[in-house]
Amino acid sequence: MSVTLYDTVGPRGRRRIAVGSAIGILVIAALLGVAATRLASRGAFGAEQWRVLTQADVQRLIGRGLLATLRAAGIAMAFSIVLGALLAVGRLSRRAWVSKPVGAWVQLFRGLPLLLMILFAFLVLPQLGIPVSSLWALVLALTVYNSAVIGEIFRAGILSLPRGQTEAAYAIGLRRGQTLRIVLIPQAVRRMLPALISQLVTLLKDTSLGFVIGYAELLRVGRGAVEFLGGRYSIPIYTAIAVVYIAVNATLSYTARWLDRFTRRRYGRAVQHPLADEAA
Amino acid sequence: MDAILDNLDLYRQGFLTTLTLAALSAVLALLLGTLLAAMRVSPVLPLRAAGTAYVEIVRNTPLTVVFFFSVFVLPQIDITLSFFVFAVIALTVYHAAFFCEAVRSGINSVAAGQAEAARSIGLTFGQSLRLVILPQAFRTVIPPIINVVIALIKNTSIAAAFGVLEETGVGEQVANANSDQVIPVLLGVALCYLVITLPAGWLAGALERRVAFSA
């Protein structure tokens, strides 16, 4: 789209773009340079500090943290998708005594900070006599929050289908449940895959909140390593952890983009992420 | 209930801190995000590349990790500020990427004919962006921006884990001091967030429907 904002440029425009590029590179290089000299003058690029990442202990620790992150994310993803599908069907129900409470539930839990839900699960459940480990408190809160969002994604996917699909299904004598199951859901699933995956990326990022309740995921493990080794190792270790997160999430995001292109060609445009909750 | 009533003052301060934190970060992040969006649609390749790199990196990093860099790494290079300022920095850096994507998708939502018409009457890139595209993009961009602001308000709660006594931090403190009343204490905190996020969500939904009809 951005190509339509300006013409194919002539010689004068090309010169102007070249000047703009040069200035742009200079400004960005200057910013990076200031940051780099500042870091370097505090010894942030010392080989000795970065060598900590080659230690087998540190690598094993980060690996364990990644596994714990993936475990929490995997369990929460499975539960959220199942519960989200139920919430979507409930909210689409024609019985008001089903759709109204489900709608209220979804709005309520979308509007609360995830961290508050994690604290709630971790502090309140034991008081009610339900023993809960930090893993399950985290999984529970992630599931309650993300199932509400994923339910909305499913609902948007189903509502995005042309009305003719429902009408045609009714016309050939299908009941409402059959219409949903046989006609609408299979088509909607393909349309909502990209939005669903970007929400799963969000869920994976949010497992990092587990460090607040002492769940030994990637970030908590990194913090532990820095506290043990000393603050001067914070830059290499936190950078390594950020890189691990970015690698895992970028892989998921690229899958989403690839699926989007693939499904758009075959099944029509994907639905937008309905809530832009991606930022959450 | 007593725990809330006894600490009403603390609750109010926490709520105000949450609001200040959110407002400050939202304004700064929106400015940075708009700048990034302009970079991402500009004809200048290095700017485009820098904008894209920023968004891709930040979007795939958990906010908690951004907080770690702000709170633990900045002091390592002798930048010492208050926890509140560190929190503003982390929230701004993180949400700018999402504001950027909201603004950019708004620019992309303006029909291609508009940009072509602007060009054909001889407007430059800057003029067509300023006079034709952005005023129209502004309308479609408001609901997603409100949604990012809602997410930002909820995300200010993470500052509680980094020594800022905002609403969630207050709740945690009061809950620890009154361990027999954890449920009402945390429900009180939840209410404080819902008072902002629910109406804001309805507003975004209503605006979205209006834009959808008039578009």
pLDDT at B133: 84
Q: Which residue do the tokens 């607040």 mark?
A: A212
Comparison of pLDDT for A75 and A13, the residue scoring more: A75
The better pLDDT of the pair A238, B138 is held by A238
Q: Assess whether pLDDT exceeds 50 at residue B115.
A: yes
Q: Which of A201, A246, A276 sits opposite B102 (nearest CB)?
A: A276
The answer to whether residue A71 scores a pLDDT higher than 80 is yes
Domain span at residue B49?
Answer: 2-214
Chain A environment of B45 (Cβ under 8 Å): 21
If you write DSSP's letter for every residue of chain A in order, what string do you get?
-GGGGSPPP-HHHHHHHHHHHHHHHHHHHHHHHHHHHHHHHTTTT-HHHHGGGG-HHHHHHHHHHHHHHHHHHHHHHHHHHHHHHHHHHHHH-S-HHHHHHHHHHHHHHHSS-HHHHHHHHHHHHHHTT----HHHHHHHHHHHHHHHHHHHHHHHHHHTS-HHHHHHHHHTT--HHHIIIIIIHHHHHHHHHHHHHHHHHHHHHHGGGGGGGT---HHHHHHHHHHHH-GGGHHHHHHHHHHHHHHHHHHHHHHHHHHHHHHHHHH-PPPPPSS-GGG-
Record the tokens describing residue A8, joined without a space: 């194919």
Residues 203-222 (A) with a CB less than 8 A from some CB of B:
205-209, 211-212, 219, 222
The pLDDT assigned to B20 comes to 93
- Does the pLDDT at position B155 exceed 90? yes
Task: Return the CATH fold of A52-279.
Answer: MetI-like fold (1.10.3720)
**Model pLDDT, residue B66:** 94
> Amino acid identity, residue A78?
A
Contacting residues of A for B133, CB less than 8 Å apart: 5
Of A53, A77, A148, A60, give the one whose Cα is nearest residue A110.
Answer: A148
Does the pLDDT at position B1 exceed 80?
no
CATH code, domain with B61: 1.10.3720.10
Taking the CA of residue A237 and the nearest CA in chain B, the distance in Å comes to 10
- Measured between alpha carbons, how far is A246 from B65 in angstroms, rounded to an integer? 11
**From the list B64, B107, B179, which residue is nearest A208 (CB)?**
B64
Nearest Cα of chain B lies from the Cα of A174 at a distance, in angstroms, of 31
Amino acid at B112: A
Would the CB atoms of B98 and A242 count as touching at under 8 Å? Answer: no
Residue A16, pLDDT score = 83
> Is the pLDDT confidence value at A168 over 90?
yes
Q: Is B99 helix (H, G, I), strand (E, B) or coil?
A: helix
Instruction: Please check the confidence at residue A1 and state whether its pLDDT lies above 50.
Output: no
Which pLDDT does position A271 carry in this prediction?
Answer: 62
* Burial environment of residue A116 by CB neighbours within 10 A (0 to 12, 13 to 18, 19 or more): buried
Residue A276 pLDDT level (bands cut at 50, 70, 90):
very low
Q: Shortest CB distance from B119 goes to which of A7, A25, A107?
A: A7
Kindly identify which residue of chain B lies nearest to residue A25, measuring between CA atoms.
Answer: B46
Q: Residue B182: which of A6, A127, A242 has the nearest Cβ?
A: A127
Q: Which of residues 5-64 of A touch B (CB under 8 A)?
A: 5-7, 9, 17, 20-21, 24-25, 28, 38-39, 42, 44
pLDDT-derived band of residue A3, with 50, 70 and 90 as boundaries?
very low
* Number of compact structural domains in chain B: 1
Q: How far apart are CA B215 and CA B205, in angstroms?
A: 15
Interface contact A123-B175, CB threshold 8 A: yes
Using an 8 Å Cβ cutoff, are B156 and B90 in contact? Answer: no
Chain B residues touching residue A20 (CB < 8 angstroms): 42-44, 47
Q: Is the pLDDT of residue B132 over 80?
A: yes
Q: Alpha-carbon distance A109 to A146, whole Å?
A: 9
- Tell me which chain A residues have a C-beta less than 8 angstroms from the C-beta of B75: 231
**pLDDT confidence bin for A135, thresholds 50/70/90:** very high
Residue B214 has pLDDT above 60, yes or no: no
Mean pLDDT of B191-213: 84
pTM: 0.86
Which residue does chain A place closest to B146, by CA atoms?
A276
For residue B161, give the DSSP letter.
G
Report CB contact under 8 Å: A234, B62: no
Going by pLDDT thresholds of 50, 70 and 90, the confidence category of residue A279 is low
Q: How long a stretch of residues is chain B? A: 215
**Is A94 exposed, middle or buried, given 0-12, 13-18 or 19+ CB atoms closer than 10 A?**
exposed
A40-58: per-residue pLDDT in tens? 877 777 777 788 888 888 8
Predicted confidence (pLDDT) per residue in A122-134, tens digit: 988 888 888 889 9
pLDDT at residue A76 in the model? 96
What was the pLDDT predicted at A268?
63
User: Which position has the higher pLDDT, B3 or A146?
Assistant: A146
ipTM score here?
0.85
C-alpha closest to that of B91 among B71, B72, B75: B71
Check B144 against A276: CB less than 8 A apart. Answer: yes
Rounded to an integer, what distance in angstroms lies between the CA atom of residue B94 and that of residue B25? 10
End-to-end CA distance of chain B: 49
Considering only the beta carbons, identify the residue of A42, A107, A278 that sits closest to B198. Answer: A107
